[in-house]
Chains A and B, each alone.
Chain A
Amino acid sequence: MRLLFGSSALAMGVVLGAGTALAVDLTVVSWGGAYTASQQKAYHDPYMAENPDVKIINDDSAAEGLAKLRAQVESGNVTWDLVDMVASDAITACDEGLIEEIDPDAMLAAAPDGTPASKDFFAGTLTPGGTNCFVPQIVYSTTFGYRTDAFEGEQPSTIADVFDLEKFPGRRALEKKPIGNLEWALIADGVSGDQVYEVLGTPEGVDRAFAKLDTIKDSVVWWTKGAQPPQLLADGEVAIASAYNGRLFSAIAEKNQPIAMLWDWQVFDLDGWVIPKGTPNKDAVLKYLMFATDTQRLADQAKFISYGPARYSSGPLVGKHADLGIDMKPHMPTNEANAKTILNFDYVWWADHRAELDERFNAWLAK
C-alpha cells in the first residue's frame, strides 16, 4: 500500500513537473480599459481555457508601445511577446526592424470556407505602407459625434456642417494633430474624397487646408487622449467632436448621453498585433496569434466593443452586444449605412510628410 501511494505521488510529481516546464507566460500589451477587456473575453479567456499551460498577462502600456518597444529591442531585453498597435506605428516599428515579419498564409488561420488569410483580411490591411509585420484585428474609425440638444431643427450630417459655425454654432473638439484634420478641412472646402492626398501633396493644398481650419480655430478644443472628446460632449463643453467611434458608442449606448453619430468621411484606421523582434516565446505567440485572429474570434470581439473585425469572413458573424443585447452591426464603422463615404488613411503619404506637417500644425496652433 505504502509503495503504491509513494509511486503514484511520484508520478503526480512528474506530471506536474512536466506541466510547469511547458507552461508559458505571454505578456500581451494593449490599450487597457474597455478595449483590453474585449480582448480578454474574446481572445485570452477562450485560449487559456483550451491551453491551460499558457498564461496571458495584460500590460496596458500600448500608448507608449512604440517607444518602449524600441527601448526593449535596442537594449536586447525584450519582455513583451505581443503588442497591440495602430497601423502607422507598426509601419515605423517595421521600418526600424523592431518587429517580426508576418507570412500571413503560413502564420494565420484561413477563413472557414478555406480562403487563405492573405485574401480574407481586408485588402491591403496586412501590408500597411508596404510593410509586412502587421496583423490587423479591427477597423476603427475617427468620426464625429454631436450633442443632440445643441441644435434646433436640422442636425449636422456632413463634414461641411462640422466646419460651418453659422449654421451650427457651438464649439468643436478635434484631435491635436494634423492627420485627419487636414483631410477633413479639404473635403469640407469642396475637395472630393479621392483627391484629398493629391491636393494635400501640393503647398497650395496644405495652405488651403490650414485656411479652412482657420475658420473654426477659435472655437476648437483640442484633445489628446481618446477619453476626452466623449467627456467634452457629455459636459456640454463642445457641440461637435471628432472621436474614436468605439468611445462614442460607449457614451451613447452604455452611458445614455445625449449624443448622436455623424458618419461622414470617417477616417478608417487599423489596429492590430505585432510581434517584438527577439521575444523568447515566439512559437507560443504564433500559436496564440493564429487562434486570436481567426474568423470567429474577430467576430466575437465585436460583441464587446463597436469596432469592425478586419476580416471579410467575420462580418456576417457579428452578433449582439454581450450585455446590452443590441445588434452591433449598425454600430460598426464598416456597416454599409455608415460607410457611404470613407477616407482611407494614406500611410505612405503621411510617412513622408508627418514630421514637416506636425511642425507646421503646431506652429499654426501656437499662433
Chain B
Amino acid sequence: MAHELTTADGVPLRISLERALLRSRIRAALLVVPLMAFLLFAFILPIFDMLYRSVENSIVAQVLPETVVVLRDWDETGDALPDETVFETAVADIQAAFKAKTLGRLARRLNYEKPGMASLLRKSGRRSLRITEAPWSEQLIKIDRKWGDINLWRLIKRESDHVTESYFLAAVDMRLDDLGAVSWQPENRQIYLQLFWKTVWMSGLITILCLLLGYPVAFLLATLPLRTSNLLMVLVLLPFWTSLLVRTTSWIALLQHEGVLNDLMVVVGLISDDGRLQMIHNKIGTFVAMTHILLPFMILPLYSVMKTIPPSYMRAARSLGATPFTAFVRVYLPNTVSGIGAGSILVFILSIGYYITPALVGGRTGTFISNFIASHVSVTLNWGLAAALGVILLALVLALYLLYDRIVGIDNMKLG
C-alpha cells in the first residue's frame, strides 16, 4: 500500500507544497496588480469603448421607441409611404422627445446620414405639439414636406437597429443609399481612403528619412569614445527637452516664405526674390518637422543595438577579404536589423498617430488622418466616425505589425 508522505506536523507533503507555491504565486501576482489595473482602465477599456462606439446606434430606438416598432411591419422596398398608424406613432414619439429634450440628439445623429435632418426634426418638434388628431400624415407633411419623402422613412427604419455599419462605411468613403445598398460617396466628398493612404505613405517616407539620417548618427554614437558620444547623445536628446510647439514653430520660422532659409537663398543668389520656395504649409513641411521630431526614436534603438556589436565583426570581415562596403552590407547591416526594425516600427506608429505637427505645418496637403480623428472628437463631436476611423487605423497598424513579424520576426526587435 502506498504510503503518503507527510510533513513533520502531519500535513500531506503534496498539500503543503501547493500551499507554499500558492503563496509565492499570490505574492508575484500582487506585484503586477497595479500595472494590470492601470492597463485595464487606461488602455484596454478605452479601446473596447472605442470599438463599441464605432458601431453603437441606440439613439433612434431610444428617441422614437414606438415608431421603430410599428415601422417593422412597413415594407421599405415598395414605393408606398408608411400608413397612418406609423405617422400617428411618430407624432406621439416626436412630441414626447421634444418634451424630454432628446430630439436634438436624434437630429444630429440622423443628419450624419442625411443632411437636412437636423433642421427638420428641430422644426418639427415644437410644431408637432399642435397635432392632436387625425389626419396625422397630412399634418406632419404640412409642417415640412420632407416627411412625405419615402427615403426619410427608409432611413429611420434602417437606423433603428442598435448597431450600425454607417460609421465604418463613412470612414471608407462609402454610404448606404436610400434603398440601403452600399455605394460610394459622391466623388467630391471622398476623403478618408485617400487620407489613410497618404498617412501611410508619408509615415513610411518619414520612417525612411529617419532611418537614413539616424543610422550614421547612431553608428557614430556607438563607435566614438564614451565622453564624446555622451555629448553627442545629449544633442540627440535635446529635442526631447524642448516643447513640441516650440520646435514646430521654429521650423515655421525657418522654412516659411519669408523665413530664414528662403532669405538666405535669396541673399546668396540661389533663388530670386520672386522665386521663393514653398517649404512649409505643405508636405515638405510635414516631412521636415516630423522627421526632426521623431529622429531620436530611431536613433536610440539603433544605438542600443549597435552598441552590442563588437568592432571585431567588421575587422573579421575585412580580414577575411571583404571590402569595407561588402563587410558593412553582409556583416554589420544584418546585425543591426533588429534595431532598424524596432526604430522603424516605433517611428512609423508614432508618425501615423501624430496630429499636432501636421496640423501646424502641413497646410492643406500635409495633414494626416489623425487630424480628422481629432477634429471629429473635439469639434464635430461625431465620436462614432472618430471611433471607426480610429479602429481602422488600429487595424492598419496591427496588420503592418503582423507583416513585419512575418518578414523580420518580432523576436528580433530590440528596443533598448
Contacts and interface: CB of A to CB of B under 8 A. Distances in A.
In the complex, A touching B (Cβ < 8 A): yes
Interface of A: 63-64, 66-67, 70, 92, 94-97, 101, 129-131, 171, 176, 220-222, 224-225, 235-237, 348-349, 351-356, 358-360, 362-366
Interface residues of B, number: 42
15 contacts: A96-B104, A221-B281, A222-B281, A222-B364, A224-B359, A235-B253, A237-B256, A237-B257, A352-B116, A352-B117, A352-B119, A355-B115, A359-B185, A359-B191, A363-B189
B267 to A, nearest CB: 16
A222 B189 CA distance: 19
Interface in B109-165: 111-112, 115-119, 122-123
Contacts of B118: 348, 351-352
B188 interface: yes
B108 A95 contact: yes
Contacts of B259: 235
A356 B102 contact: no
Nearest to A365: B364
B363 interface: yes
A352 B111 contact: yes
Given A66-B381, A222-B363, A354-B380, A364 B256 contact: no
Contact of B105 (A96, A131, A220, A352): A96
Contact of A355 (B190, B256, B258, B382): B382
Interface in B231-262: 253, 256-259
A103 to B, nearest CB: 14
A127 to B, nearest CB: 12
Interface in B86-114: 101-102, 104-105, 107-108, 111-112
Given A67-B378, A235-B256, A352-B117, A95 B105 contact: yes
A116 to B, nearest CB: 22
A362 B258 CA distance: 27
B377 A67 contact: yes
A223 to B, nearest CB: 9
A356 B189 contact: yes
Most chain B CB atoms below 10 A, which of A131, A176, A363: A363
Interface of B is mostly: helix
Contact of A348 (B122, B360, B365): B122
Nearest to B122: A130
A40 B116 CA distance: 40
Nearest to B191: A363
Contacts of B195: 366
Contacts of A222: 281, 363-364
A185 to B, nearest CB: 15
Nearest to A95: B104
Contacts of A363: 188-191, 194
A236 B258 CA distance: 7
Nearest to A177: B379
B2 to A, nearest CB: 60
B303 interface: no
B372 interface: yes
A131 B189 contact: no
A361 B101 CA distance: 32
Interface in B354-380: 359-360, 363-365, 372, 377-380
Which 4 pairs across A and B sit closest by C-beta, in order of nearness? A95-B104, A67-B378, A365-B364, A359-B189
A282 B378 CA distance: 25
A366 B198 CA distance: 10
B115 A96 contact: no
Contacts of B365: 365-366
Given A235-B256, A359-B189, A96 B194 contact: no
A171 B364 CA distance: 14
A237 B111 CA distance: 39
Contacts of B383: 70
A57 B194 CA distance: 44
A58 B189 CA distance: 40
Contacts of A365: 364-365
Interface in B375-415: 377-383
Given A356-B189, A360-B188, A362-B191, A97 B101 contact: yes
A64 B104 contact: no
A180 B387 CA distance: 28
Contact of A66 (B108, B253, B257, B379): B379
Contacts of B360: 224-225
B189 A360 contact: yes
A283 B327 CA distance: 77
Contacts of A221: 281, 363
A92 B383 CA distance: 13
B104 A355 contact: no
A366 B363 CA distance: 10
Contacts of B185: 359
Given A95-B107, A95-B108, A355-B115, 6 more contacts: A94-B104, A130-B122, A235-B253, A348-B122, A352-B119, A358-B380
Contacts of B256: 235, 237
B382 A348 contact: no
Contacts of B258: 235-237
